[in-house]
Structure 1
């Protein structure tokens, strides 16, 4: 990774220390033991993997058996989700998680995946029950018809992360951010800036790219030569760029990089700061990857600056907010386990609380997300709603 604009020895030393600490921490919270095969198996989003691990620890059936097995997006070890067969690579991100779910339903994804029921060369038929997704993968406008149902459980905000030791302003306008990601501007308030990307299969990136008004096709054509590159990239060949993709919600990529910015889930940022409380209340280990990252405030034209996090709580009025989902086959909406876990305001994910410092707190909110009890529209729905659908 190329370190740019490192102007102070102290910053470099702190960056190294923070990076080492992040590497030393635990990286996963899969079902333990890994042979604990549960009723509902989920894969996908990095954004919501921690909160779903929380529900995996807490949601039980009438026999007091854990119901939800949620496998992390990150990690080099393959996962095995069911007792027979079902060994495959981890789907890293919302898009990959939804693909794995579709393959599990017997769809043919084509390409290098393999034939019907295959994901990344492995037969995953009947291996995945739900996909964690931080974005809606359906058409515009959203629809109420489709083979897959997006069941919202929380509200997230996607903010811009900057290095807290740098000179990028703490509050910026949406127009400024968009102009930087479209490479119209290479500075904010006179400070040079390099925008970074996260993995393409990430729901966070899909959401962010949509808001920025850029597409993967344009990126691959080299239309945005200002985006951060790998160290072996050749700046003289923008038509064949080797752009760097970093893991989402990992602020350590900004350590020592004083002029770089990257999108970051506010829900993840809060959860990574709540590690002790989460561990004590749920037994789930959340890795603090914030590093030197700080979130910026943002404003839309004619509106006041909104902070993504206020008093340690997600601000649901932040301009770039989104619902986060558990995606299930529409045909399985009558399945008792799925209904009990995900469907409706009385479902386990919508109602489960834990004691934190003598106060009962929603698990959704403990892990950094907001909870919506009254729906506004399909993309701003109430927890447990089943109206939003798509075929992907």
Structure 2
């Protein structure tokens, strides 16, 4: 059987992985001090934790901005005087923690998905950037350079289990090897969005799918085989590969992001999500989630939140913050600061 070679853009991406290993960006992580009780402190999405670590580093206003990573030692004490909580891993876990606590513990949650049925009420999702999700596989493996939505749905419901069952990709003759499909844990915003885009739900994911990996981490040995594939944030991948924002675990490893429905996700010259892919159903907004009551209260805490996350706030309007968005692979949003409430 013959495996279709990678396209030139994908080869360029693979080469870039090695190049950026020599020029990695700063490895920012959890707060190095316990934030003050009045500081603005967040938890949640893995996809945007590196960006928010950078934003926290670059924001010089008061109260200060802090962000806790999705993974690490648990429990955490998010700020001075706060109760300890289990470290929220993922968008849904962060949203649940926000709803279950007050500003004495956490102030916002990072979310890589929009609000959905079943979310707690009384929350405001504030859009600030655009990302997209595609899928990734080993650069030298059996996967094709492109898969359709129908292929992805078949793979993740286990009606397609071998590469040679993929027959709608021109020029591709797949091997008889079993596809090793992976998903992040339930509650991951990337997982939730990807499932919606391909027409499956947590309940309809097939038994052949491994659901144990952390999102956007190709360093996991489970993903370093020629038949593994996993959904991947395109923006996060760009930040890792082209701007050197990696750590020992937060890196693509041998994975390269592939086309979906024949649309190339990455502009390998300008190092951004392509305009074509940003118009597909695989594009998504990113959100900061706050309690609506906190946002509308009219006190110093509400002012601090709006100064950071509002439509005229620091994240939306400051040139350093906008440069951080680009450096971490995400696109600026025309309606930055737009709010959807639950």
- The bucket for the TM-score relative to the shorter chain is 0.7 to 0.9
Aligned partners of 2:322 and 2:332 also within 8 Å: no
> Cα distance, 1:342 vs. partner?
0.5
Aligned partners of 2:34 and 2:79 also within 8 Å: no
Q: In the alignment, is residue 270 of structure 1 matched against residue 238 of structure 2?
A: yes
Q: In the alignment, is residue 245 of structure 1 matched against residue 212 of structure 2?
A: yes
Aligned partners of 1:48 and 1:132 also within 8 Å: yes
Provide the rounded CA distance (Å) in 1 between the counterparts of 2:83 and 2:28. 19
Aligned to 1:333, the other structure's residue is in SS state helix
Aligned to 1:157: 132
Aligned to 1:371: 332
Q: Deviations over 1:312-359 (max 9, x none)?
A: 112243231110100011122231011110011x211112334xxxxx
Aligned to 2:202: 216
Provide the rounded CA distance (Å) in 2 between the counterparts of 1:350 and 1:27. 24
Aligned partners of 2:243 and 2:328 also within 8 Å: no
Aligned to 1:109: none
CA distance 1:86–1:28, change in 2 (3 Å): farther
CA distance 1:90–1:27, change in 2 (3 Å): farther
> Cα distance, 1:214 vs. partner?
2.4
Aligned to 1:152, the other structure's residue is in SS state strand
Which of 73, 84, 92 aligns to 2:89? It is 92
Aligned to 1:258: 226
Aligned partners of 1:79 and 1:87 also within 8 Å: yes
> Cα distance, 1:182 vs. partner?
1.6
CA distance 1:85–1:255, change in 2 (3 Å): closer
Aligned to 1:103: 100
Pairwise CA RMSD:
2.8
Aligned to 1:76: 73
- TM-score with structure 2 setting the length: 0.79
> Cα distance, 1:38 vs. partner?
5.5
Aligned to 1:343: 310
- TM-score with structure 1 setting the length: 0.69
Aligned to 2:336: 383
Aligned to 2:260, the other structure's residue is in SS state strand
CA distance 1:361–1:332, change in 2 (3 Å): closer
Q: In the alignment, is residue 185 of structure 1 matched against residue 146 of structure 2?
A: no
CA distance 1:26–1:336, change in 2 (3 Å): closer
CA distance 1:101–1:27, change in 2 (3 Å): same
> Cα distance, 1:83 vs. partner?
1.1
CA distance 1:226–1:262, change in 2 (3 Å): same
Q: Which runs of 4+ in 1 moved over 4 A?
A: 25-28, 35-38, 285-288
CA distance 1:286–1:309, change in 2 (3 Å): farther
Aligned to 1:252, the other structure's residue is in SS state coil
CA distance 1:126–1:288, change in 2 (3 Å): closer
Aligned partners of 1:132 and 1:327 also within 8 Å: yes
CA distance 1:56–1:171, change in 2 (3 Å): same
Q: Deviations over 1:346-380 (max 9, x none)?
A: 211112334xxxxx96221111101121xxxxxxx
Aligned to 1:363, the other structure's residue is in SS state helix
Q: In the alignment, is residue 138 of structure 1 matched against residue 116 of structure 2?
A: yes
Aligned partners of 1:44 and 1:73 also within 8 Å: yes
CA distance 1:44–1:66, change in 2 (3 Å): same
Count of aligned pairs between the two proteins: 298
Aligned to 2:10: none
> Cα distance, 1:136 vs. partner?
1.7
CA distance 1:98–1:210, change in 2 (3 Å): same
Aligned partners of 1:58 and 1:66 also within 8 Å: no
**5+ unaligned residues in a row in structure 2: which ranges?**
1-17, 167-172, 297-301
